[in-house]
Structure 1
Amino acid sequence: MRYAIGFLLALSIASTPFAWHWAAQYFAPPPPSVVDTSGLETEMAALREELALVQGRVDGLDIRMSLGLSGKADDPEPAVESPATSDSLKDSFAQVVLIADRRSANEGLTLATPSFLQQLIGLPREELTDDCQSATNSKLNGLLKTEDVGPIKARMLEPALVSIRQIFANVQVFEPELYNRIKSAGSLCVRRIRGSIASASSHAYGLAVDINIDGVLDTLADGKTQLGLILLADFFKKEGWIWGAGFGREDSMHFEVSREKLLQWRRLGEI
C-alpha cells in the first residue's frame, strides 16, 4: 500500500507540466483578429476636414460677436462703430477697424524668405527693379498660370491657384456676402522687395496676392484693416498662408504662401 501511494504521488508530479500546458491552451483567449482600418481612416480624415470647416465658421462668428455685434475688440476702446441701419455685418465688411494682437496672426507658420525662395526656384530674373517685369526663369514660367479662382482672376504658381481656389470655395460656403465683395489688387509682379537691392518679392514668384473689399485699398502700416480682411485671414491661415498684418510693417491686404506649404508642395513634386 505504501508503494502504491508513492507511485501515485510520483505520477501526479510527473504529469503536472502536461496538465498545465493543456490548460493554458484550452483556456487561453482567442488571438486578436486583424481589423481592416483603411475605411475607418478615410472616414476620420473626412470628419477632420469637416471639423476644420466648421471651426472656420465658428472663428468667423467669434469675430462677429467681438467686433460686429458688441462694437468692441479685445482693446478697452471701441474698434468698430455699429452700422446705423443694418442688422447684419454685410454693410461693414469694408469698414476699417483696429487689428487686435496682429503680431500673433501667423503663429504656427513661417515666412518663406527671399533666400529660401531663390534656393527653391531660383531668381525670377537676373535684374530686378521696383517695377513689374516679365520672368525669365524657365522653371518659374513653366509653373505660372492665369486662372479664375472664384471672386478674382490671378496669375500665380499653379499649386497656389489650387490652394487659393479652395480658400475662396470655403469663404463662399460660410461667408457668401463677404465672398461677393472680394476684389484683387494684384498677384504676380516680378520685382524686388521695396527698399532692397536684389531680393525678390513673393509676388515675383506668383506666391502672393493683394486683396481688398469693394476695391478700396488698405492703408499700409497704420495697424488697421478692413473687417472683411480680418474674416478672410482665418480662411487663408487654415490653408497655410501668411497674412501681411503680422509683418513688422503691417500690410494687411497681402497674403502669401508659407514656407511650410511650399515644403509640402515640394514633397509632393508640385514644384
Structure 2
Amino acid sequence: MIDHPRRLLLQLAIVLAICGTGRLAYATDAGDGVDQPAAKAALLKAYPGLFTISGNVLTWADGTTMVWDDGKARDAEALLESPDIEDMFRYVYPTAAEGALVPAEDFDPGRIRNEAFFEKLYGKSAADVGKHIANVKWLPKLGKKTVQVTKVFGINDRLGKISDVLEAMPAELSRYGLKPGGGFVWRPIAGTNRLSVHSFGAAFDINVGFSDYWYNNRNKTNPKTHIPFKNRIPLKIVELFEKNGFIWGGRWYHYDTMHFEYRPELLLYKKSG
C-alpha cells in the first residue's frame, strides 16, 4: 500500500536533514525556508523595545498582538497581498557585496510587507505619519534639493549621512543623486491597494533619470512572459544605502532600481547567515 504523500514528504525531509546536517531540522526551520530564530532575532534587533515575540505571537508595548506565522501557504501573488509577519523573511536579500545579479522569477526580498506591522511602526494615516516627517537637504552643494522622510528610527539623519558621502564621491557617482524622485508621499503602489513604503516616510527614490522599473519593461501583450532585468544604478551607491539600513529595489524580480527603503531587519537576517 502506498503511503500518504504528505507523510512521504515528511519522511524525505527528515532523511535529507539527517544526511545533510547530521541533525534533525525541527521548528527552527520553517517549511517555507525561513530560519525562525534568526528572523525573530533580526526583527527584534532592528526595532528594539517596541515589541516582544513569544512563540507564534508578536506583542507590542501597548498590548496589541499579531500572529507571527498563520500557517497559510501562499504563492507569489498572495505573499504580496496578504503576508503574515514571518513571510517578510521568505526571501533572503542579496547585498551589494554579492555583485551584479539578475533576480530569479518572483524573487522579491523586501516587497513582501505586512502592512499592519508597518502602520504600527510609522502611523496608520498620512496625518499620523506626517507628525514625524522632516526635511533633509539632499546634495546641498550639487543639487540643492530638499526631500522629506520620517524622523522615526533616525531615518532622516541616515539619509543625510548618505547625502554627505554621495556628494563627496567622484562626479561619475554623485551624478546619480542629482534628480531625486522624493521620499514621503501617502499613496498606494501603482495598480494595487497596498500602501507604498513612501507612505510611511521610510523610502527614497534616488534618481528619476536613471530609473528602471519592471512595469515599464513588461510584455504588455503577455504579462506572464519573463521580465527582462535592467539597471543603471552603480552598486557603490547601493552599498552606501545598505550601510545605513536601506535595501535596494534593484534586487527584486519586479525591480524598481531608483527605490531604497529602510528595512534593517532584512540586512540583519542576511548577516545572520
TM value normalised by structure 1: 0.47
- Give the number of the structure whose residues are more often helix, by fraction: 1
The structure whose Rg is larger is 1
State the TM-score, normalizing by the size of structure 2: 0.47
